[in-house]
Amino acid sequence: MADRPLTLMAVHAHPDDEATGTGGVLARYAAEGIRTVLVTCTDGACGDGPGGVKPGEDGHDPQAVAALRREELEASCRVLGVDHLELLGYGDSGMMGWPANDAPGSFWNTPVADGAARLAELIQHYRPDVVVTYDENGFYGHPDHIQAHRITMAALDLAPGLAPKVYWTTAPHSAMKRFGEVMREFGADWDVPASESAEPDGEGGEAAGAGSAVEAPELPPIGLPDEEVTTWVDTHAYGGQKYDALAAHASQGENIFFLRMGKERFTELMGTETFLRVRDTTGAPLPEQDLFAGLR
């Protein structure tokens, strides 16, 4: 490793996902001199258009939305200090059950092997020490998140011997409970326990819209019992950057609940990022407080 920097690669589905679950670690590790690579799989075209117009409504131009969201993503990366942004450019699939799921070129409609081959090339190029993506449920059942998980794990199998540590984003049930309390404090509807089905705002910017007339399938449980979370990373010092990165996605502000809190409350609630370690060759003991434990 002496001839290359330690490297973190985060694989996300849409513009704005990078800030929600990993904005803190991207900012923290960039500040510590670790090379950060963000892979964004879709163009975000199923997000809101100007004025909050939803997909399928008059005035929603998917190409214009995708172009704007790319600009916002680039701005978010500047805030977080991301060194390299890689865009796979697949079509945004929308929420589960939307017609966009089956559209030609949509990420959900793309063979896993095809996406995995492209991502494997990036893994071979950057040789990340740590790779972060979603769990098999895509954290909360979003098809593009699930697909990002699938291609990431398949890509890692195509690049054996690389990425000594692999993580899935998660949330401890205690944090989900606190999050629900804060959501209700701010007037949002959050009546579902963390251990049951739930869908938080701010994940992909697609909480409403073209799929609202389609009955979505029951969503999987979110998060893990606290004792099953392997990795707790303190990112409070980077809470302002994480908030500003989310705010850079201004076109999706209606769906990003966290922006209603203000920086101080946001940092208090979102200042620890948590993960499940699923692959490791370092032998670093668990639980851990550093994604790079055992690597430096």
pLDDT at 41 over 60: yes
User: Can you state the angle between helices 62-80 and 239-247, rounded to 10 degrees?
Assistant: 160
C-alpha dihedral sign at 47, 269, 137, 146: positive
**pTM higher than 0.95, yes or no?**
no
Q: How far is CA 69 from CA 66, 119, 135, 206, in A?
A: 5, 21, 24, 13
How high is the pLDDT of residue 16? Answer: 95
State pLDDT tens for residues 165-213: 999 999 999 988 888 888 788 776 655 444 333 344 444 445 444 444 4
Q: How many CB atoms lie within 10 A of CB 257?
A: 20
Angle at 77 between CA 73 and CA 81, to 5 degrees: 175
Q: Quote the CA–CA distance of 123 and 170 in Å, as a whole number.
A: 22
Alpha helices by DSSP H, 81-137? 112-126
Element containing residue 87 per DSSP (H, E): strand 84-90
State pLDDT tens for residues 114-159: 999 999 999 999 999 999 999 999 988 899 999 999 999 999 999 9
Are the beta carbons of 187 and 194 closer than 8 angstroms? no
C-alpha dihedral sign at 284, 289, 295, 296: negative
**Edge-first strand listing for the sheet containing 165-170:** 84-90, 35-42, 7-12, 130-133, 165-170, 272-280, 231-234
Angle at 149 between CA 192 and CA 67, to 5 degrees: 90
- Beta strands 165-170 and 130-133 are parallel
